Amino acid sequence: MATVECRAIRKVYGALEVMRDFDLKIDDHEFVVFLGPSGCGKSTMLRMIAGLEDISGGDLFIGGERMNDRDPGDRGIAMVFQNYALYPHMSVRENITFGLERAGTPKAAIEQRLSPVVEALGLGVYLARKPTELSGGQQQRVAIARAMIKTPEVFLFDEPLSNLDAKLRGSLRVEIARLHRDLKTTSIYVTHDQLEAMTLADRIVLMKDGRIEQMGTPDEIYQKPATVFAAGFIGTPN
């Protein structure tokens, strides 16, 4: 059961408080989008869930277990970044399998897990290439494949489509929605783009200045924005 629960989570950098009173319960298989303007704390919150940032206060539970001090590799999560973060000197295949190899997974088992992932993302013909020989969209597919092969219970996405053109954004958005459905994962997806939020989310968590401004289904937030900020942010096209 991959529920995610944030209880009164807080984050400070020195004297600067960038997150406070962050309370959220995410259901198993839910697709939650953190939406908000640049600098509101979306990446910081996601990185705390991933274990890439320390939590300054409060508690984080994944699957009912307290994660505050748990290593990133031991949280059942996988993360996809805006800038792909692929290893330039490795082939596509090596980029996808490196994590499993490092964890000592037997070669046969790796091959078995590789083929459905490669098929799901249409990467078969690119396996021998280096990341620099791929388009941005193909590189992001590799990054998603690398996350997927870990068979995470929780998928974390930090603005994965922001560096892509509009057409690719549309098609990869559909693929991400499909993977979420087929793999039955729980997904947390960070974006500043309300269209992405409206089309992907079961529930939107609208953030402002390091706290939650409003949360609800896309319909609820669109139809009943609770504040002037929410009305402005959801209503304004990019």
The residues that touch Mg ion, with contacts defined as CB under 5 A, are 43
Coil, strand, or helix at residue 235? Answer: helix
User: CB-wise, 38 or 238, nearer to ligand ADP?
Assistant: 38
Beta bridge partners of 60: 6
Query: Helix H segments across the chain?
Result: 42-50, 92-102, 107-120, 136-148, 166-183, 194-200, 218-223, 228-235
- Other C-beta atoms closer than 10 Å to the C-beta of 207 total 24
- Ramachandran quadrant class, 184 (left: phi over 0; alpha: psi -120 to 50; beta: rest): left
Cβ at position 24, least distance to Mg ion in Å: 17
Cβ at position 14, least distance to ligand ADP in Å: 7
From 33, 44, 49, 201, residue interacting with ligand ADP (rule: CB under 6 A)? 44
Determine the Cα–Cα distance for residues 168 and 55; give it in Å rounded to an integer.
35
Using the rule CB under 6 A, is 42 a contact of ligand ADP?
yes
Q: Within its chain, how far is the Cα of 16 from the centroid?
A: 25
Say which entry of ligand ADP, Mg ion, none residue 18 contacts (CB below 5 to 8 A, set by partner kind): ligand ADP
Using the rule CB under 6 A, is 43 a contact of ligand ADP?
yes
Residues 21-40: x where in contact with ligand ADP by CB under 6 A, - otherwise, as a string: ---------------x-xxx
Cβ at position 111, least distance to ligand ADP in Å: 37
Positions that interact with ligand ADP (CB under 6 A): 13, 16, 18, 36, 38-44
